[in-house]
């Protein structure tokens, strides 16, 4: 590896000199720039550069492989149906069973901070710039119903979808949430928006009124090949 690849420069405007900061990896012994070194943050806030990135990745891989069996044994003992844990998002105390909580070996009790429902919700709402508490408030405001069809949301076929305005996102780059809809109504709204822009809605209504396009009966009666 060339030590001058992707090197960081610090230019002193007064002396018009270029200062190059190089660090030696304690494992492979190669002198490299800071951009090729792995950062290690201390509790005091200080950042150390001990290993280069390839050596650090290899160390992490071997460490995970070494402790894999130990972590699996620890993970098998974390579930206890007699105990409960509090979820700060939905504000419910749920039993410590696999149905309610996902495993997280990095935590003291071996369980994630949030219940499975809120964890899935977190991944779902992250792209829309809201958190779980805001989602639950909106769900309560709509009385747990789809805004269009007014059917009650459930865990199976009627899961709530976050509907947002795509035009505002394209113009401003910001996400404007409109309402919570079921999957069927969310798809319907997307089709209607496209139909209004391209005059598809008018042709669709015209087809419903007429019943069929002109001349289709003669075409279907004809037995000749095209």
How many CB atoms sit inside 10 A of residue 98's CB? Answer: 12
- 123 and 155 share one domain: no
Note whether 48 and 42 are within 8 A (CB): yes
How many CB atoms sit inside 10 A of residue 214's CB? Answer: 7
In a domain, 213, yes or no: yes
- 206 and 158 share one domain: yes
The per-residue pLDDT for 68 is 66
In a domain, 3, yes or no: no
Nearest to 109 by CA among 82, 77, 63: 77
- 182 and 220 share one domain: yes
In a domain, 74, yes or no: no
More confident residue, 124 or 117: 117
- 47 and 93 share one domain: no
- 173 and 222 share one domain: yes
Query: Tens digit of pLDDT for each residue in 135-178?
Result: 888 888 999 899 988 889 887 777 888 888 877 777 777 778 88
In a domain, 76, yes or no: no
pTM of the model as a whole: 0.45
Q: Using the predicted structure, report yes or no on whether residue 109 has a pLDDT greater than 60.
A: yes
Look at the alpha carbons of 167, 123, 53, 32 in this order and tell me if their dihedral is positive or negative.
positive
Element (H, E) at 135: helix 132-141
In a domain, 2, yes or no: no
- 114 and 189 share one domain: no
- 221 and 164 share one domain: yes
Q: Look at residues 141, 159, 179 and tell me which one is the last residue of a structural domain.
A: 141
> What phi and psi, each to the nearest 5 degrees, are found at residue 170?
-70, -35
- Report residue 226 as tokens: 């095209």
Query: Tens digit of pLDDT for each residue in 52-61?
Result: 889 989 988 8
More confident residue, 226 or 153: 153
Q: Which residues pair with 39 in a beta bridge?
A: 49
Domain span at residue 49?
9-64
Q: How many domains, in total, are found in the chain?
A: 3
More confident residue, 71 or 147: 147
Cα–Cα separations (whole angstroms), residue 150 to 38, 62, 161, 181: 53, 54, 14, 9
Note whether 71 and 103 are within 8 A (CB): no
């Amino acid at each position: 590896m060339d030590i001058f690849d992707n090197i960081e420069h610090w230019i002193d405007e007064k002396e018009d000199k270029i200062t190059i900061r190089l660090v030696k990896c304690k494992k492979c012994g190669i002198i490299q720039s800071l951009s090729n070194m792995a950062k290690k943050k201390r509790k005091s806030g200080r950042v150390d550069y001990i290993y280069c990135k390839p050596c650090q990745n290899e160390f992490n891989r071997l460490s995970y492989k070494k402790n894999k069996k130990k972590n699996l044994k620890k993970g098998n003992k974390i579930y206890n149906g007699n105990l409960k844990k509090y979820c700060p998002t939905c504000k419910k105390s749920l039993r410590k069973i696999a149905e309610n909580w996902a495993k997280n070996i990095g935590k003291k009790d071996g369980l994630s901070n949030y219940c499975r429902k809120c964890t899935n919700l977190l991944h779902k709402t992250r792209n829309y710039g809201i958190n779980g508490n805001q989602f639950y408030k909106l769900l309560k405001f709509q009385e747990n119903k789809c805004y269009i069809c007014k059917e009650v949301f459930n865990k199976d076929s009627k899961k709530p979808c976050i509907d947002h305005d795509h035009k505002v996102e394209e113009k401003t780059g910001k996400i404007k949430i409109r309402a919570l809809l079921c999957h069927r109504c969310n798809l319907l709204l997307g089709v209607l928006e496209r139909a209004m822009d391209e005059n598809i809605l008018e042709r669709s209504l015209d087809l419903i009124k007429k019943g069929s396009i002109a001349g289709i009966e003669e075409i279907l009666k004809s037995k000749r090949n095209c």
